[in-house]
Amino acid sequence: MKKWTTLILYSGIFTVLLRNFLVYYIGAITPGYHPFFNFISELSAEGTPHATLMNTGSLILLGIVLILTAKALNQSIQGPGSWLPMGYLAIAGAGFILIGLFPCPPGCLPELDTTQMTIHLLAAFVATFSMSTSALAYGLWSFKGYRSHMRMASLVLGSIGILAFIGLWGSVIFWEMGMNAPLLPVKGLIQRINVAAGDLWVILACASALKSSNTSLKPSLN
C-alpha cells in the first residue's frame, strides 16, 4: 500500500472521530440543546457561537477526507465493482461539504422556504443516504469473495443506517404534509443512530484496509 493511501486511511479514522467529538462537545456546552431532540445542524446554524468551527471542522473537512478515503479504500481493495460502494462514500463526502457551505438558517426549521435551506436539506438527504448505502453496498459486494470479514458489519451497520434514515426523513416528510410523525420529537436520536452507523462503518473499513496492508507486509514464516 502506498504511503499516501495509508495516510488517507488514518486521516479518515481521525476526521470521523474529530467530527463526533465536536458534535458532542459543542452540543454539551450549548444551552438548551439536547442530542435526542435537536438536529445536529442546529449546532452549525447561522448565528450560532460555534458555527464556523462546526461547518469547517465537522462538515467541510469531513467531506473532503471522505472523498479521499473513498479513493484510498477503492485502491486498497482492488476488486471488480468496488467503485460502487466507494462511489456512494464519495457522494456522501460531497454532500457533507455542501452542508457546511450552506448551513441552515437559525432554528433549522424544514419549512423555511429559502434557497439556502433547500440546498442544506437536499445535501443532508444525499449525504446521510449515501453514507448508509455505501456500507450496505460494501456488504453485498463482499459476497463476491472480497473482504468477507467485513461483510456482516457492513450489512448490519448499513441496514441500521438505512432504517434510521427512513425513520428520520419519513417523519420530516409526514410532518410537512400535516400527517402524524411519532418519531419527530426524538429526531436528534434517530439522526444520531443514522450518523453513528455510517461513522462506525468508515472507521472499521479504514482499520480493516490498514490491517490487511500490514499483514501482507509481514515476512512469511514458511
Other C-beta atoms within 10 Å of 157: how many? 26
Nearest 5°: CA angle at 44, between 104 and 175?
Answer: 45
How far is 117 from 129, CA to CA, in rounded Å? Answer: 18
Q: Judge contact between 209 and 176, C-beta under 8 A.
A: no
Amino acid at 199: D
Q: How far is CA 214 from CA 18, 66, 220, in A?
A: 25, 22, 13
User: What pLDDT does 176 receive?
Assistant: 74
pLDDT tens-digit profile, the chain (222 residues): 678 899 999 999 999 999 999 999 999 999 999 999 999 999 999 889 999 999 998 899 999 999 999 999 988 876 777 788 999 999 999 999 999 999 988 877 766 678 888 899 999 999 999 999 999 999 888 877 655 678 899 999 999 999 999 999 888 888 777 788 888 889 999 999 999 999 999 999 999 888 876 654 343 333
Q: Residue ranges of the domains in the chain?
A: 3-214
Beta-carbon contacts of 24 under 8 Å, excluding residues fewer than 6 positions away, are 35
pLDDT at 57: 86
Q: Which amino acid would we find at residue 151?
A: R
Q: Which of 213, 218, 220 is CA-nearest to residue 10?
A: 213
* Nearest of 203, 184, 212, 195 to residue 23 by alpha carbon: 195
Please answer whether residues 99 and 59 qualify as being in contact, where contact means their C-beta atoms are separated by less than 8 angstroms. Answer: yes
* Phi–psi pair at 84, nearest 5 degrees: -70, -55
Residue 67's nearest CA partner among 101, 98, 100, 91 is: 91
| Short-list 80, 189, 62, CA closest to 144 | 80
| Alpha-carbon distance values, 29 to 49, 58, 168 (Å) | 11, 16, 25
Q: How far apart are CA 206 and CA 125, in angstroms?
A: 24
Nearest to 57 by CA among 92, 5, 107, 17: 17
